[in-house]
């Protein structure tokens, strides 16, 4: 099995068995993001407690890339401090902007490196980024509220 097939498996697995895909009752903030070019949508709940992301949960509909990416994002950021989450987010953004030239840092991105190939397809980058942008929006709103 080559790397592309392996990555395809990771994405399909998260699409079929998404993590944290059930909106929590408690939340600090809820955001709703759309990717009109593909028809993907995500609603994301974020809760911070003692300087950590104590919960990220989501609900959504869309293509396998958008749903799998949101699922992987939720597992990666759960329990992290907002600063660590930002490092992971920045690393993923960088990968998506690489136009297929980067492999992604597996130590930081873990399963999210499976989306490296997506960066060659501008139309699909928005799919892969949807959940991550929802998190970014939610975290900025929580930060603004706490000031
Ligand atoms: Zn999509």
pLDDT tens-digit series, residues 26-54? 999 999 999 999 999 999 999 999 999 99
Distance 34 CA to ligand 1 centre (A): 10
Distance 146 CA to ligand 1 centre (A): 33
Domain residue limits at 27? 3-145
Burial 94-130 (b: 16+ CB within 10 A, else e): ebbeeeeeeebeeebbebbbbbbbbbeeeebbbbbbb
Ion ligand 1: residue ranges with CB closer than 5 A = 38, 40, 63, 66, 127
What is the pTM (predicted TM-score) of this model? 0.95
CATH of the domain at 90: 3.90.1010.10
Distance 62 CA to ligand 1 centre (A): 6
Count up the domains in the chain and report the number.
1
Residue-level pLDDT at 6: 80
Residue-level pLDDT at 1: 52
């Amino acid at each position: 099995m080559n790397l592309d097939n392996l990555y395809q498996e990771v994405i399909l697995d998260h699409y079929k068995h998404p993590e944290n895909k059930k909106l929590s009752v408690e939340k600090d903030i809820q955001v709703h993001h759309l990717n009109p070019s593909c028809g993907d949508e995500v609603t994301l709940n974020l809760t911070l407690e003692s300087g950590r992301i104590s919960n990220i949960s989501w609900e959504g509909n869309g293509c396998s890339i958008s749903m799998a990416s949101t699922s992987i994002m939720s597992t990666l950021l759960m329990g992290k401090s907002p600063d660590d989450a930002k490092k992971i987010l920045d690393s993923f953004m960088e990968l998506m902007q690489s136009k297929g030239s980067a492999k992604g840092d597996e130590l930081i991105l873990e399963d999210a490196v499976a989306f490296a190939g997506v960066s060659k397809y501008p139309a699909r980058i928005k799919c892969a980024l949807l959940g991550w942008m929802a998190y970014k929006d939610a975290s900025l709103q929580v930060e603004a509220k706490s000031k």
